[in-house]
């Protein structure tokens, strides 16, 4: 009987080692979160010459040209989100005690802003929540199902509620840091948010970099934690938005 129990203990020990080892390998070696969106992402996309706005002919910008609008001049007018814009989520998680990061992204974003003088006077964007993808299909299944319920809430939106004062048009390739305030709607719940933005003027285009902290409970979003995976109760909505003149 003692020998029998000894075998059971050894077997359980081996199982624990395998589980922990597998968790370590996944968290540290297999799971590959995208790098945080940065100013480099903004600059590289502003340099692209074949970006289109939603609804435009592929390979052209909003005006139908195959190159961006000429640099310089006024920025007054309406600016539409180009198709190489990107929105993502980023959440810290722990798998059996091993820390890692979960993230997913989409480029299915539409919207526009109106600029008059040195201010963005109005604007909004809509994100297709059904198009988010990560490096893990099971994570996408949880995101689409019990977490974000995309069949019930297929879109998320942001609507500017206060003008953004840029203080003037930056020099070519220059950036300005400002704050934006608006209504963010996630999971069918709308909250007023204020967050930092970096706006860049380059090649006759506008690039915007920012992120919005999101506490899941504020929007009625279930905590993503399950089984041996524990996540923070909050995450980041990060984005790079590229605008071409409408």
Regarding whether 97 and 22 lie in a shared domain, the answer is no
Specify whether 186 is located in the same domain as 207.
yes
In terms of domains, do 103 and 37 share one? yes
Confidence of residue 52 (pLDDT cuts 50, 70, 90): very low
Domain total in the chain: 2
**161 plus 113 within the same structural domain:** yes
What distance in Å separates the CA atoms of residue 78 and residue 235, rounded to the nearest whole number?
31
96 and 7 share one domain? no
Residues 17 and 90 in one domain: no
| CATH assignment of the domain containing 136 | 2.40.128.110
Same domain, 2 and 96: no
22 and 38 share one domain: no
Asked if residue 50 has pLDDT above 90, the reply is no
Q: Rounded distance, CA 14 to CA 19, Å?
A: 9
> 99 versus 8: which is more confidently predicted?
99
Range of the domain at 24: 1-30
182-226 confidence digits (pLDDT tens): 999 999 999 999 999 999 999 999 999 999 999 999 999 998 887
Are 73 and 26 found together in one domain?
no
pTM as predicted: 0.79
3-class DSSP state of 213 = strand
As a whole number of angstroms, the distance between CA 18 and CA 13 comes to: 9
Q: Among 4-8, 104-108, 232-236, which is the least confidently predicted range?
A: 4-8
Are 97 and 196 within one domain?
yes
Examine the domain organization and report whether 132 and 38 are in the same domain: yes
200's CB contacts (< 8 A; 6+ apart) are 39, 42, 43, 46, 170, 173, 174, 175, 206, 207, 208, 209
Contact between 197 and 176 (Cβ < 8 Å)? no
3 and 61 share a domain?
Answer: no
């Amino acid at each position: 009987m003692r020998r029998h129990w000894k075998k059971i203990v050894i077997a359980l020990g081996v199982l624990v080692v395998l589980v922990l080892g597998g968790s370590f390998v996944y968290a540290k070696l297999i799971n590959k979160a995208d790098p945080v969106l940065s100013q480099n992402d903004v600059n590289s996309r502003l340099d692209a010459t074949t970006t289109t706005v939603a609804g435009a002919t592929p390979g052209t910008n909003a005006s139908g040209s195959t190159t961006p609008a000429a640099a310089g001049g006024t920025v007054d007018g309406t600016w539409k989100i180009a198709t190489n814009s990107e929105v993502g989520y980023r959440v810290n998680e722990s798998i059996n005690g091993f820390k890692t990061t979960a993230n997913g992204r989409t480029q299915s974003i539409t919207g526009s802003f109106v600029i008059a003088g040195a201010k963005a006077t109005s604007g909004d964007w809509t994100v297709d929540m059904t198009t988010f993808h990560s490096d893990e299909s099971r994570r996408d299944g949880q995101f689409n199902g019990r977490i974000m319920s995309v069949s019930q809430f297929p879109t998320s939106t942001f609507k500017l509620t206060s003008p953004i004062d840029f203080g003037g048009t930056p020099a070519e390739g220059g950036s300005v840091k400002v704050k934006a305030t608006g209504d963010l709607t996630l999971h069918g719940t709308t909250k007023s948010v204020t967050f930092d933005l970096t706006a860049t003027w380059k090649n006759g285009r506008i690039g915007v970099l920012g992120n919005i902290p999101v506490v899941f409970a504020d929007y009625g979003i279930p905590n993503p934690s399950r089984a041996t995976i524990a996540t923070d109760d909050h995450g980041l909505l990060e984005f790079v938005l590229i605008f071409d003149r409408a």
